[in-house]
Structure 1
Amino acid sequence: MKSTHIPRLMRSSLRLAAHAPSKSPLPARFVTSTSQYVSQSRKAEMAEVVDQAARPSDLFASQSSAAAASSSSSSSALPINPQATLDVIDPIVLHQDPLHVSPVPELRQTEDTQPQEKVARPIYLDMQATTPLDPRVLDAMMPFMTNQYGNPHSKTHAYGWETEKAVEAARSHVADLIGASTKDIIFTSGATETNNMAIKGVSRFYKERKRHIITTQTEHKCVLDSCRVLQDEGFEVTYLPVKENGLIDLQLLADSIRPDTVLVSIMAVNNEIGIIQPLKEIGEIIRRHKGVFFHTDAAQAVGKIPIDVEEMQIDLLSMSSHKIYGPKGIGAAYVRRRPRVRLEPMMNGGGQERGLRSGTVPAPLVVGFGEACRLAKLEIQNDHEHVSRLSQRLHDKITSSCTHIVRNGDATLGYPGCLNLSFEYIEGESLLMAMKDVALSSGSACTSASLEPSYVLRALGASDENAHSSLRFGIGRFTTEKEVDYVADKIVDVVTRLRELSPLWEMVQEGIDLKSINWSQH
């Protein structure tokens, strides 16, 4: 396909990939240059797109003429959306500016079709929610969103063959990241589906003989909700508490396993406080009991800490692409074949993915996922050092200027990219509202209908007040030192101002012990 025939809506994606060799968004610590992943023909295509995008006035002029011609021929014709031909602003390039002022205004469509300039985007520190797409991942995906569009399950022609080959190569990269066999990897839509498939699938398959499940109180909501569904079906679930540092009691786990226990599900890295559970020790305890399977939700762990399913004796593992700089909408389940783990499929159809997950495999997403896993294995040490340094810098700058700050979870037992702090005598929601230029997450599980403190922090023994006053800082591969310094200064300023307005803080400053006060009910 010639570059002149590339569909207009694809040019924004090509523009993002074009930033890789020209603007070098990747930090200098990356050994491999992004430009090595862009073919010469692709560079030519992208150069043309960049050249066109650099002349927005010409584009609007041509579109205005086209719109006028269309309007004259049909009174019901809609105006052409000018945003369709504008390039998307690269978030990584934006991060080079601490205030994130866009170098190229992104235009928005309004009711009267008049474009408006985009306001500055906030600094992104919410990496546990999702991560930005690595430009190298996008580059690997692009051919499968343009020329190589075959169905990987089509066995009768070259389109299917070439796509199937790419899918299997991606499967190999995913397996390699966790020390698994390629045949043990099942592609899904993400960790939520995989957790549902693992917990419900195993339990329902063996329900005639075993109806007991063990998990923890600090699991992701999709794990807890899956267990509650099984409870409604007659299963018994044991919810293990965690210690103040966030770890489970291994002896309590061993004592909780019964003859009718079918599954133990314990997450690898907690999504709120970053605590890393001792998977190897857990696997050894479970392996002593024949017929008990070990599942771990590793969405926050894969690509960030070393995972080896053989060494850790894991039977089922859930992972997600968009947590490791890959595309959203794709994930994988590791399902051990030797000794074999049997599942009841949740989806029926064409029998794809060993019959466990029917449906056409989305090749572009799978290829992106595979590339993200390949890069994660290459960069895991660099990423860990980078994230550790910035996390410590953020923590030190905040705590050196503010008092009455509690770190949730033991810092020595957690993943450094997840920093959860409680700012006493301040509501977390107030902090978030005052931090409009920083994308963060509150430890409070807030919805429009309720305001409840985080069940994870409460499981650690945190008070409701501290749970309400928590913020989670997510640091990742593309976070910069300049961003961390800006956020630290901003937090200190906001906390100081909010505490000046707090009567509780005034009482603490006067030496009054708030716990000694008998608060009356009105």
Structure 2
Amino acid sequence: MRSRVYLDWNATTPLRDEARAAMVAAMDVVGNPSSVHAEGRAARALMERARAQVAAAVGCKPAEVVFTSGATEAAAVLGRLPVGRVEVEPTAHDCLWAQRRTGEGVRALGWGYANNETGVIAEPPARDDGAALMLDIVQAVGKVPFSFAWSGAEMAVVSAHKFGGPKGVGALIVRDGFDVAPALMGGGQEMGRRAGTENIIGIAGMGAAAEAAQRDLAAGRWEEVGELRNILESALSSGANNTISVGNGGLRLPNTLCLIAPGWKGETQVMAMDLAGFAVSAGSACSSGKVRASRVLLAMGFDEVQAAQAIRVSLGPGVTKEEVLRFADVWCAQYRKALSRAA
């Protein structure tokens, strides 16, 4: 019996060996990083090493890294900026959220650098004078070159489990000199920006994963993944030439394929491929279980029927050519069956 093939790397990645080893080692570090005794200093040293590892991967200063429980919490800092009420504005990348002043103050803009459903990479739009920019770089870190230092953003959000780290830990990157109020009140941890004793075990895993992810990127492993994605895309379009590959021809993450199959619902595709031994998704993991058309695809000009016929296949290092070609064969065969049943 063939083993299952995991093709949902944008939802979450397998835990890296380096992250697992770092987390196991961190379990023996008993101290609180805020304590001044030897045990506390040992915990602090472990955390600061991870902070430097994350900073190197993101292209920022270590002091600009604020550890959080994940990207969602990190993004919540927008609610603590001195601005007005939140107004959500979905765009073609489902990645823009803005808080506009109802009176005096700054305007804050959030922008997704790489979309998780389509893989499309989009530079943020021109900002109003004085606007603060927060970049969602969750899907970009470790997959494509990125440097917070040259991004021009005041803030960015990162999540460890998207590049081989553990779930439940992430970071807010805050440019040196830019002030934000803490979303969580309490102690003075994380330079007064995030109260609560730090998750040392998760942070250690995140740091190790960030370092390993940068090694893979520098070694060209994601270029290899991009070649596999292209092979898969070609095989699927050859086997079913009426499919639509979203974002093809534009700048995309190297691992992501968003495919619309006319006449075959995305959720049905996911179930069929799951039974066949392949893990894919019908959109963002954040909205799984919700039967609704993708706002991303709707904003890109697709209609509700087309949006409901899309799936996302996302690859990673370790996925093989044999596996993607096997997926293509099985998917195309299942698609033909679905169309014949509908005829």
Q: Same fold (TM over 0.5)?
A: yes
- Pair 1:299 & 2:138 matched: yes
The one of 154, 163, 173 equivalent to 2:53 is 173
Which residue of structure 2 aligns with residue 148 of structure 1? 29
Amino acid at match of 1:189: S
Which residue of structure 2 aligns with residue 32 of structure 1? none
Q: 1:206 to 1:354 in 2, by over 3 A?
A: farther
- Pair 1:265 & 2:110 matched: yes
Q: 1:329 to 1:212 in 2, by over 3 A?
A: closer
Q: 1:206 to 1:451 in 2, by over 3 A?
A: closer
Amino acid at match of 1:402: A
Which residue of structure 2 aligns with residue 130 of structure 1? 12
1:419 aligned counterpart, secondary structure: strand
- Pair 1:345 & 2:182 matched: yes
8 Å CA contact retained: 2:90, 2:299: no
User: Which digits, 9 at most, give the CA deviation of each residue in 1:103-146, with x for residues without a partner?
Assistant: xxxxxxxxxxxxxxxxxxx311111100001112211221111x
Identity of aligned residues (%): 30
User: Which digits, 9 at most, give the CA deviation of each residue in 1:32-73, with x for residues without a partner?
Assistant: xxxxxxxxxxxxxxxxxxxxxxxxxxxxxxxxxxxxxxxxxx
- RMSD, matched Cα: 2.4
User: Which digits, 9 at most, give the CA deviation of each residue in 1:455-487, with x for residues without a partner?
Assistant: 100000012221111110010122122221221
Q: Distance in 1 between matches of 2:192 and 2:305?
A: 48
Q: 1:477 to 1:219 in 2, by over 3 A?
A: same
Amino acid at match of 1:344: A
8 Å CA contact retained: 1:213, 1:261: no
Q: Distance in 1 between matches of 2:240 and 2:296?
A: 24
1:407-486 superposed matches below 5 A: 407-435=245-273, 436=275, 437-443=277-283, 451-486=291-326
8 Å CA contact retained: 1:305, 1:380: yes
Once the 2 structures are TM-superposed, how far is the Cα of residue 216 of structure 1 from its aligned partner?
Answer: 4.3
Gaps of 5+ in 1: 1-97, 101-121, 237-257, 504-522
- Pair 1:201 & 2:80 matched: yes
Once the 2 structures are TM-superposed, how far is the Cα of residue 149 of structure 1 from its aligned partner?
Answer: 2.6
1:313-462 superposed matches below 5 A: 313-337=152-176, 340-381=177-218, 382-435=220-273, 436=275, 437-443=277-283, 451-462=291-302
Once the 2 structures are TM-superposed, how far is the Cα of residue 430 of structure 1 from its aligned partner?
Answer: 1.9
Gaps of 5+ in 2: none
The one of 43, 52, 68 equivalent to 1:188 is 68
8 Å CA contact retained: 2:94, 2:296: no
Q: 1:142 to 1:359 in 2, by over 3 A?
A: same
Once the 2 structures are TM-superposed, how far is the Cα of residue 206 of structure 1 from its aligned partner?
Answer: 4.3
- Report 1 or 2 for greater relative contact order, CA contacts < 8 Å, sequence distance ≥ 6: 2
Q: Distance in 2 between matches of 1:196 and 1:292?
A: 17
8 Å CA contact retained: 2:223, 2:254: no
Q: Distance in 2 between matches of 1:429 and 1:309?
A: 36
2:239 aligned counterpart, secondary structure: coil
Q: Distance in 1 between matches of 2:339 and 2:41?
A: 63
Amino acid at match of 2:121: I
8 Å CA contact retained: 1:214, 1:263: no
Structure number with higher helix proportion: 1
1:15-26 superposed matches below 5 A: none
User: Which digits, 9 at most, give the CA deviation of each residue in 1:141-180, with x for residues without a partner?
Assistant: 21111x2232211112x22111111110110111111221
Which residue of structure 2 aligns with residue 23 of structure 1? none
Q: Distance in 1 between matches of 2:206 and 2:91?
A: 30
Rg: which structure is higher? 1
User: Which digits, 9 at most, give the CA deviation of each residue in 1:311-344, with x for residues without a partner?
Assistant: 121110000000000111110011112xx22222
Once the 2 structures are TM-superposed, how far is the Cα of residue 196 of structure 1 from its aligned partner?
Answer: 1.2
2:151 aligned counterpart, secondary structure: coil
2:140 aligned counterpart, secondary structure: coil
User: Which digits, 9 at most, give the CA deviation of each residue in 1:418-446, with x for residues without a partner?
Assistant: 10000111111221221121111014997
Count of residues paired in the alignment: 339
Q: Distance in 2 between matches of 1:378 and 1:264?
A: 32
The one of 78, 82, 99 equivalent to 2:2 is 99
Once the 2 structures are TM-superposed, how far is the Cα of residue 307 of structure 1 from its aligned partner?
Answer: 1.4
